[in-house]
Structure formats: C-alpha cells, structure tokens
Amino acid sequence: MQDLNITLVQIDQVWEDKIANFALYEKAFEKINSTDLILLPEMFQTAFTMNTLMAEPFENSSSMAWLKTQSAKFNSAIYTSLIMEDGGKLYNRGIFVEPSGKITCYDKRKSFGLAEEDLYFEAGKEKVILEYKGWKIQLQICYDLRFPEILRNNWDPVNQIPSYDVLLFVANWPAKRSLHWETLVKARAIENQCYVAAVNRVGTDKMNLDYSGNSLVVDPLGKVVLDLYQKSTVENVYLSANQLLETRASLPFLKDQMLK
C-alpha cells in the first residue's frame, strides 16, 4: 500500500439542473493538480430530490459518461451518487469510476424515511468493497452512516487482515444535524480502525434545507485530519498507509473479534 491522495469537493448544488451542476464541478476541478480519488456529494448533478424524472438509464447514462470523461482527464477515480434506473427499478446508486473506465456500483442500503426516499427508490442489499491502488475501499451513501451493523469491519483470521481500509461517504446531510454527522463519522473510524472520508454539500436546497458542509477525513484513531468546515472549497489530503497498519498492529481490536 502507498499513501492515498483524496480530494473532497464541497460546493453548493443547483436543484435538478444537471448541466449547471456539471459546469460547477468543472470549475471546481480547476483547483485540482494531482490526486488519486475525487469525492463529490450525493446525487451530485441534481441535489437530493425525490423527482424520479431525474433518473438515468444505467446502460445509457449521460452523467456516467461525464464522470468517465472527468476521471480519465484527471487520471483519478471519482466516487459520487445519482438517481439511476436499472431493470425497471430506481436506485440512489453510488458510482465509483476509475480512469480506465471501470465502474463499480453501490446501491444505498438505508433509505431516508424522513424524506420518503423509501417510497421512490429501491434499497440496496449488498455491501460493496473494491480494491484501488492497494487500498480496500467500502462504498457508502449518506444515511448509511447511522447504521454500524452494515459497516462492520470484519477480521479475516486466515489472511490476518480486516475487510477494508477506508469508508467513503457521499452525502446531502442537513446542517441541523451536523453534530450527528461529525460524531458518527468519528465513531465509524474508531470502531472499524479505518480511515473515513465523508463529503457533504453546502448551501440551501429547494426544500429550504440548509447544508453546512463539514466534510471530514478522519484517521483510524478518530483524529480529524481534514475538515472543510462551512465553506465552498476543494481540498485534498493524504491517507497514510503506515499509520493505518501501525494502528492496527499496536491496537489489535479488530483481531479480538475472534476471541471467545
């Protein structure tokens, strides 16, 4: 494993206007020099809407084509989510695009009942862990953060390694619950002995919900190594492979899962 350079894009979103949002991201990307992975907020090109007319077909998605183009341009993976139709069902689908064009999908498993997300989108049923640049990465979306039972980092006694090294969250998390956001991101890092990179938006949406950003990267000990606070910004941070391995070696909490 080498250190992993992650870039968080914390900006406002234009309600249900894909072209305008593409332009905003392209402008934000001008601040990126070199990185391994770019994180964009949940439903990156529409904002968090229940408007099913915003859905795109999985096999012919213009937004996925845009993501592929940007990934190749910056030679960097991109992770975000969008509304997608697949097999006659609609999903809040996480899309991890690699510069090669490879795509890994994750369907949000926990629907946000307060917004009636469960009435519009099919909940995902499977966790998704991929390997990228030597790191094992588990994909997540927003509300999943509240459910540690679906995030548990399990210890493999045969290979003597955990399931994953970093959790990625893309979100539209309201400002009025920002304390929950910060607390839960730290908790997920500590209990799973992993890095957590969580990107959120800023601004106010058409439902009059305010978003404070507070995008975070937290290390395996729960220390915040990057906090974007409440500003519209693009910033990057390196995840230390050595620190991850040393933390797990000195504090074998995950390994102790196997104790009777």
Out of 98, 117, 142, 194, pick the active-site residue.
Answer: 142
**What is residue 240's DSSP assignment?**
P
Q: By C-alpha distance, which of 215, 149, 137, 143 is closest to 182?
A: 215
Establish whether 108 is a catalytic residue: yes
DSSP 97-156: E-TTS-EEEEE-SS--GGGTGGGTSPPP----EEEETTEEEEEEEGGGGG-GGGT---EE
Distance CA 127, CA 137 (A): 11
DSSP β-ladder status, 77-86 and 56-57: parallel
Out of 42, 56, 98, 117, pick the active-site residue.
Answer: 42
Out of 68, 108, 110, 186, pick the active-site residue.
Answer: 108
SS3 content of the chain, % helix, strand, coil (to 5): 30, 30, 40
Establish whether 194 is a catalytic residue: no
Q: Locate 223 and state its tokens.
A: 């220390």
Distance CA 217, CA 23 (A): 26
Q: By C-alpha distance, which of 93, 99, 96, 183 is closest to 146?
A: 183
Q: By C-alpha distance, which of 103, 98, 99 is closest to 86?
A: 103
Catalytic residues: 42, 108, 142
